[in-house]
Amino acid sequence: MKDKIIFNDEELQSLARRFKILSEPSRLKILRCLFKGEKCVTDIVDTTGLLQANVSKQLRVLLINKAVECRQEGLQRFYSVSDEKIQKICKLLCDSRKKDDDK
Amino acid sequence: MKDKIIFNDEELQSLARRFKILSEPSRLKILRCLFKGEKCVTDIVDTTGLLQANVSKQLRVLLINKAVECRQEGLQRFYSVSDEKIQKICKLLCDSRKKDDDK
DNA sequence: AAATTATATTGCCGTATGGTAATATTAAAA
DNA sequence: TTTTAATATTACCATACGGCAATATAATTT
């Protein structure tokens, strides 16, 4: 079965936006951290080593683009990955990289 | 089975680079065009509507990053997608978008 | 060898965006 | 209600990079 996906221009723009979100090391670090489970901002800051301002800034990008979701509890905001595809896609790309290296 | 991938920092940088390649509409247009099969530069220019200089420029990026490969024949250079994962990943992300839209 | 065709390269400009420091906001605690 | 803690926002700077126009390169034809 020829499984060619031909996406239209609108879908292409959307795709590009989604890939862009995943194309920044700082955001990937945050996501990697959240793959282990829900975390508050301070925990993310500690785990990633990024500055608090950057973490908040990038979390906002992730939130707006629905890559993560947020729940407030007192002073803290707990973030978690909301798009389960993200981890799958990271895994796919990582694996293909390893295969390349084997060549 | 908890299929958590925890990639290290080096893998994370590599992932970010790969996502970045896919995060530009012009490159996605070129790739979409190549998903249908090998094409020479002029064909890509005609199909995508991009300027020839841009197509060459972006093909170079794709080539360097091993997203496409190139074969010369006389005056023409024929490009094709070399990483079969790319199409799969585009499909995955497209599908998850559609699911989001349904909500 | 000139002219032509296909593709690549270069230089420039403008925009987008990440990092940072400082400050603001918000909620809890004292 | 002042203080403290957690997070968000703002403003600024620097860099990366895409689009474009012009030019260069390389292979072919005449």
Residue A12 has pLDDT above 60, yes or no: yes
Query: B5: Cβ–Cβ under 8 A, 6 or more apart, which residues?
Result: A35, A87, A90, A91, A94
In this prediction the pTM is 0.90
pLDDT value at position A13? 96
Nearest CB to B20; choose among A4, A7, A23: A23
Residue A22 has pLDDT above 90, yes or no: yes
Model pLDDT for residues B87-97, shown as the tens digit of each residue: 999 998 887 65
Residue of higher predicted confidence among A2 and B86: B86
Q: Which nucleotide is nearest to A56 (CA to C1')?
A: D8
Please answer whether residues B73 and B79 qualify as being in contact, where contact means their C-beta atoms are separated by less than 8 angstroms: no
Q: Is A76 on the interface with B (CB under 8 A)?
A: no
Residue of higher predicted confidence among B67 and B95: B67
Report the distance separating Cα B22 and Cα A92, nearest Å: 14
CB of A75 within 7 Å of some strand C atom: yes
Q: Is A93 on the interface with B (CB under 8 A)?
A: yes
The model's confidence at residue A83, banded by pLDDT at 50, 70 and 90, is confident
Q: What is the mean pLDDT of chain B?
A: 90
Report the distance separating Cα B30 and Cα B15, nearest Å: 21
**Chains A–B, number of C-beta pairs less than 8 Å apart:** 114
| Residue B99, SS3 per DSSP | helix
pLDDT value at position B54? 98
Nearest CB to A25; choose among B16, B23, B89: B16
Report the distance separating Cα B82 and Cα B70, nearest Å: 9
Model pLDDT for residues B41-66, shown as the tens digit of each residue: 999 999 999 999 999 999 999 999 99
Q: State the average pLDDT over residues A67-94.
A: 94
Q: What is the mean pLDDT of chain A?
A: 90
Q: Is A29 on the interface with B (CB under 8 A)?
A: yes
**The residue count for chain B:** 103
Strand order in the sheet with B68-73: B39-40, B76-81, B68-73
pLDDT value at position B4? 60
pLDDT value at position A103? 36
pLDDT value at position B84? 87
